[in-house]
Structure 1
Amino acid sequence: MVYERHLKEFLDASNITVGDIIRLEKEDISYTGMLLEKPDYSNENTIIIKMDSGYNVGVDINGAKVEKIEEHNKPHIELDPVDRQLSDEKDNVTILSTGGTVASVIDYKTGAVHPAFTADDLLRATPELVDYANINAKAIFNILSENMTPQLWMQTAEEVYNEINDGADGVVIAHGTDTMHYTASALSFMLDTPVPVVITGAQRSSDRPSSDAFMNLTSSIVASKSDIAEVLICMHSTEDDTYCSLNRGNRARKMHTSRRDTFKSINMDPIAYVENNDVKINDPQVKYNKRGELPLMLNNNLADKVALVKMYPGVTDELINMYVDKGYDGIVLEGTGLGHCPDNMFNAITRAKDENIPVVITSQCLYGRTNLNVYSSGRRLLQENVIPVGDMIPETAYTKLLWAAGQSDNIDEIRSIMQTNLKGEMDKTLSQQYFIKQ
């Protein structure tokens, strides 16, 4: 039958429903696969098929020939709770799911991928996890990572604290990759942890043959049992399935939109790698907190509003003035080069200083560090009491300023916090000279 009217009417007339295997032919190209549910926001004439490769394809079916190959016969099944296979010989690991691709499960009736709304959903998606540890899985919320907020960071930190306080030997957080490094950085400042806290995600969902979800999750469980008691990001190190990197949470950044090895440590190497279910320390000279060294502490007081402002040709001081007018608690400037901003920003920066609003400057270059003593504009920023933060990346400067301004409203105390290496977020030995007015 050739499509020539409204999609729903066409499917009804063809007796085709979601879950059926269909063949669609258009312009000498043939697509065969399972008919999926259609998002409300998609084109009304688009039909979505999951092919045998695991990939989905959307086709505008105007002028297409569609036929049913096989009727779906997978009725809804009430699933039993997952057998967690508890053992005194295994470590106790909690998985906290916040959403994202890594915490998605396949609906084998429709072929669609949905968020894991319960702990059992998460374990059904990767049942092998119970072989590695006693798993306590908990979905604390299900959001796209771009909808993460500082308030949800505070909630996540409290959940992690409670799990460790209740005896967890390690905590894994399933998270969307787009803002994972913000969350990891924020948690590193809010928590002193005696056990590993490992954040992981997936670039490709579990219905795709190239999915990285399984390896990232299992490697994170292995990492959560290690001796590295820090907030870590665990993701693929390479495009293939060789091993995963353990990046310090406040030193890592998402560097590619779709590659599986998207997360890289900036201005330092990964602390360790997970290969063949074994954690291998990358450089014995790198200092990290060992299991049990720090007592468990939670300080999740964050400021209400901090801005991250990128400097670019043509930027005006309206941005800074707006944040001053709205009573922001701090401003991070993502400066050019060694930490610079245009001359037309200085009146607004002076105004922020007069309003007792801390202004921090980092570099959008990512690699390297700020040095405000080289050029006149940098020295002028120092005279305005702008706070340079060495080799700290912009996302970390933002999350740290949120935390620092949550500890004090005294600008000198905030300066001291920002320029003190608290959780390995900066290389102070190389950066000390750049903090001092000359």
Structure 2
Amino acid sequence: MEKLRVIGTGGTIAATATEKGDKPTIGVTTLLHKIPQIRERFDSDPIQLLQKDSTFINHKDWARIAREAYHASAQGNKVLITHGTDTLAYTSAALSFAIQNPQTSIVLTGSMRLPEEPETDALKNLTDSAIFLLEGAKGVYVVFNGKVMTASRITKVHSTDVNAFDTVDGKYVATVEENRVVYQNKLVESNAQTNLADTFDNRVCTLKVTPSLPKDIFDAILDKGFKAINIAAFGTGNIPYTSSKGDPEKVLGGLLRKAIQTARRVPVVVTSQAAHGGVDLRKYEVGRKIEIPPMISGEDMSQEAAHVKLMWCLGQGMNLDEIRRSFERSYAGEITVG
């Protein structure tokens, strides 16, 4: 039988209804007993690492989960992680950066419905995860609502529906249909040495651009000790600016000018508020005013992956130039290069 390490962290997939609201109370061992594909096909070794609503998952938890998954994978185990959906996109991105080139399958899943509900998606997502794990695909993945997705590419697109996650480019590794895996794209696997880099620095701020946002917001962020900023810009990466009446091509001030000045001091990445499509700074006149460098294009990264990547880069001790270069490189499929 295949060896499987199952790491429980809480979330709706482990929750029951209480007088105070839904709360994670179900142990991961109890969940496994409900899934024949796991009982019959795997020699499973469960651990209840956390029991949290994922709202409370933080960067220290990412490191704990990463270490547990890394060591299990290094011993030849496939790994299944049950997790809440609110921050699943952040944790999956974090594990993608922390565990580089895993030599077994690491799968994260969760649910939007309580296991006790008649129309729960918990059992389907666990079953689909088991079916995909049997494929032996190396890497970190999220399995949810019949979709197998590269873990660094997902974003939550619905707050209540079972079809809660999508990828930023709308592409999936595979789908699970009638208990079989149907591949949609060629797997990209690496035989490079597996590495654990599980240190994150939480002094990163994601700033959502809004109409009339005061430019001194950047000073306020830096004054609070933040070391990097992810700007969630309009559309394809557009940030408002002001210009001279006599020379409209010359950017004199406004939010954009302050962003550029800030980018000379700390890493400032530009991503899109839109779930799909990414950043294209050559499309509109306003986008072409952004100076790359010093600012950093997030290209087609999700906001979650960009935020976590900044945390991870800072955690690895990278300086400003090193972080700029790191955003030109794909560590775990988080960005389309070339």
Shared fold (TM-score, shorter chain, > 0.5) = yes
Contact between 1:104 and 1:122, CA under 8 Å: does it hold in 2? no
CA pair 303-210 structure 1, distance change in 2 beyond 3 A: same
CA pair 410-114 structure 1, distance change in 2 beyond 3 A: closer
Match of residue 348 from structure 1 = 258
What is the CA distance between 1:272 and its match in structure 2? 0.8
What is the CA distance between 1:396 and its match in structure 2? 1.1
Query: Which stretch of structure 1 is more off in the superposition, 157-166 or 140-149?
Result: 157-166
Match of residue 209 from structure 2 = 311
CA pair 198-318 structure 1, distance change in 2 beyond 3 A: same
What is the CA distance between 1:102 and its match in structure 2? 1.2
Contact between 1:390 and 1:428, CA under 8 Å: does it hold in 2? no
What is the CA distance between 1:319 and its match in structure 2? 2.8
Contact between 1:189 and 1:403, CA under 8 Å: does it hold in 2? yes
After superposition, residues 275-424 of structure 1 pair within 5 angstroms as 275-283=177-185, 286-289=186-189, 293-343=191-241, 344-354=254-264, 356-382=265-291, 385-424=294-333
What are the Cα deviations for residues 219-243 of structure 1, in whole angstroms up to 9, with x where unaligned?
Answer: 112222223212111111xxxxxxx
- Of 9, 12, 16, the residue aligned with 1:98 is 9
CA pair 324-213 structure 1, distance change in 2 beyond 3 A: same
> Residue 258 in 1 paired to residue 160 in 2?
yes
- SS of residue paired to 1:134: strand
What is the CA distance between 1:126 and its match in structure 2? 4.4
What is the CA distance between 1:133 and its match in structure 2? 0.8
Match of residue 84 from structure 2 = 176
What is the CA distance between 1:390 and its match in structure 2? 1.2
- SS of residue paired to 1:333: strand
> Residue 152 in 1 paired to residue 61 in 2?
yes
Match of residue 200 from structure 1 = 109
**Distance in 2 (alpha carbons) for counterparts of 1:210 and 1:392:** 33
Amino acid aligned to 2:166: K
What is the CA distance between 1:278 and its match in structure 2? 2.3
Contact between 2:14 and 2:27, CA under 8 Å: does it hold in 1? no
Query: Which stretch of structure 1 is more off in the superposition, 299-308 or 122-131?
Result: 122-131
- Of 178, 184, 187, the residue aligned with 2:95 is 187
**Distance in 2 (alpha carbons) for counterparts of 1:416 and 1:381:** 18
CA pair 383-138 structure 1, distance change in 2 beyond 3 A: closer
Greater RCO, 1 or 2 (C-alpha within 8 Å, sep 6+)? 2
Equivalent residues, number: 324
What are the Cα deviations for residues 330-380 of structure 1, in whole angstroms up to 9, with x where unaligned?
Answer: 1000011121112221353244234x2100001112322322234444333
Taking only aligned residues, the RMSD between alpha carbons, in angstroms, comes to: 2.3
**Distance in 1 (alpha carbons) for counterparts of 2:17 and 2:6:** 19
Unmatched 5+ stretches in structure 1: 1-89, 237-243, 430-438
**Distance in 2 (alpha carbons) for counterparts of 1:161 and 1:268:** 28
Contact between 2:168 and 2:278, CA under 8 Å: does it hold in 1? no
Amino acid aligned to 1:308: T
What are the Cα deviations for residues 36-88 of structure 1, in whole angstroms up to 9, with x where unaligned?
Answer: xxxxxxxxxxxxxxxxxxxxxxxxxxxxxxxxxxxxxxxxxxxxxxxxxxxxx
Contact between 1:116 and 1:139, CA under 8 Å: does it hold in 2? no
What is the CA distance between 1:301 and its match in structure 2? 1.9
- SS of residue paired to 1:121: helix
What is the CA distance between 1:327 and its match in structure 2? 2.3
**Distance in 1 (alpha carbons) for counterparts of 2:318 and 2:262:** 14
- SS of residue paired to 1:142: strand
TM value normalised by structure 1: 0.69
**Distance in 1 (alpha carbons) for counterparts of 2:276 and 2:111:** 25
TM value normalised by structure 2: 0.88
What are the Cα deviations for residues 252-289 of structure 1, in whole angstroms up to 9, with x where unaligned?
Answer: 12211221122112214110112333222113xx3421
What is the CA distance between 1:114 and its match in structure 2? 5.6
Match of residue 15 from structure 1 = none
